[in-house]
Amino acid sequence: MTIKVGDKLPDATLMHMSKDGPAPVKTSDYFKGKTAVLFSVPGAFTPTCSMKHLPGFIEKAAEFKAKGVDELICIAVNDVFVMDAWGKSQSAQDRVTMLADGNGEFSRALGLGLDATKFGMGQRGQRFSLIVKDGVVKDVNVEAPGEFKVSTAEHALGQL
């Protein structure tokens, strides 16, 4: 079942690269008391993700903060080392938090997993964005296959 407005985020463990190395992030704790925009990309370093999706949120980070967003969070079904390297290559530091859903458990728990085996990419997460307040989903934006419209930074800004 796909997550919907009013649902609480599922409890899962994502990974973040801290100054001391890979560190677990429990969603039940992490989203408590904050307003966040969580967006998912099918894969780090892939074309649309690297040229449009992540850069859009990086460029508009100050606008999100001005609208009361505490944190912008990018997830992908990639390992924490790849997410860290991708974030650094895009200069995302201090603007977008890069979290790894390495095994795709969180994406599947959201009902937003993606079977990309026919493209040689295995199991991934769909392209989507969620606006989350205190762990509860306020907006759900899932892209149709091959599209890039409703999960953009501009669309999310318009929902705030």
Q: What is the pLDDT of residues 98-130, one digit of tens each?
A: 999 999 999 999 998 876 677 767 577 889 999
Active-site entry in 41, 49, 80, 156:
49
Averaged pLDDT of the chain = 93
The predicted structure's pLDDT at residue 27: 96
The predicted structure's pLDDT at residue 67: 97
The predicted structure's pLDDT at residue 116: 64
Q: Looking at the chain, list the stretches that DSSP marks H as alpha helix, in order from N- to C-terminal side.
A: 27-30, 47-48, 54-59, 61-66, 80-89, 105-109, 153-159
Q: With a cut of 80, say whether residue 1 has pLDDT above it.
A: no
Contact status, residue 110 vs residue 2, Cβ threshold 8 Å: yes
First to last CA, the chain: 25
- Could you tell me what percent of the chain has a pLDDT over 70? 97
**For the chain, which residues make up each domain, given as ranges?**
13-159
Rounded to an integer, the average pLDDT of 130-147 is: 95
74 labelled catalytic: no
Rounded to an integer, the average pLDDT of 57-74 is: 97
The predicted structure's pLDDT at residue 122: 59
- Could you tell me what percent of the chain has a pLDDT over 90? 81
| CATH code matching the domain that covers 13-159, chosen among 1.10.1740.10, 3.90.1200.10, 1.10.443.10, 3.40.30.10 | 3.40.30.10
Q: With a cut of 90, say whether residue 47 has pLDDT above it.
A: no
Tokens of 65: 């903060």
- Using alpha carbons, select from 131, 143, 111, 159 the residue that is nearest to residue 42: 143
Q: What is the pLDDT of residues 7-33, one digit of tens each?
A: 999 999 999 999 999 999 999 999 999
